[in-house]
Amino acid sequence: MKCRDFSAVLRTFADLLDAAGALVARDQIIMFAVVFDAHPTSSVSDLAKRIGALRGTGTAGSPSLGDVARLLSALKSVLNKTAKATVLTDLNAIEKFLHDRASMELGAFVRLATEAAAPRPTRSRDAPAVRDDLVIHYKEKLEAALGDEEKFSAVYNDLRTNTAVGRPEIIALAKQMTGSGARAEDAALKKIWNRHQSLVVFKAKSRATGGRSAA
């Protein structure tokens, strides 16, 4: 099953959760679907293998992968008698993967998974060399500030005004942070900013509901 099809299943489930008023659960599923959105033509099984090769267990926290696993278990019980075997097979594999890393914080997992699963970029002979040191520096700074309006804005503005950082570095940074590419510098910057804003909105919704789900 392709990742784009699996993502479509997850987003349909999110719509059902939204209709049921389970807003926290809905947001968790939408956030989890980002991993599959980043690689629409890959198979779920292939992506799962690459993610499974991640080193370390990541940061523990809430919402966790265990929370998502429980939601997928509920989805599987609904689809058990109607869905195709390929859908159920992929659901089982992903659910097991999440249970094995149940304590890991969902946001941390999405960051690691999109980075690790991203295809390695190819470089043409005429393409300018990328300053890897700058990419690593700003990636660490930006990811440490994700979700914090003041801190992220400060690092983001420093990135934009640093004359040592060029188009190649911005594009490489966006690729590593979001899992999707961009050809233009402005588009890459927008992707980086949207990654931060998505987490800000998610945290705000979680605080507003007290972390409770109606599911």
- pLDDT tens digits for range 103-152: 888 888 888 777 655 555 555 555 567 888 899 999 999 989 988 889 99
Residue 140 sits in the same domain as residue 179: yes
In a domain, 138, yes or no: yes
19 pLDDT higher than 60 = yes
Nearest to 120 by CA among 48, 36, 53, 179: 179
Residues 145 and 110 in one domain: no
Signed CA dihedral, 42, 111, 63, 211: sign only? negative
Q: Are the CB atoms for 189 and 170 separated by under 8 Å?
A: yes
Q: Give me the number of domains the chain comprises.
A: 2
Specify if 211 maps to a domain: no
Strand, helix or coil for residue 2: strand
What is the Cα–Cα distance from 42 to 31, expressed in whole angstroms?
Answer: 19
Domain end residue (candidates: 119, 154, 171): 119
DSSP helix/strand/coil, 165: coil
Range of the domain at 38: 3-119
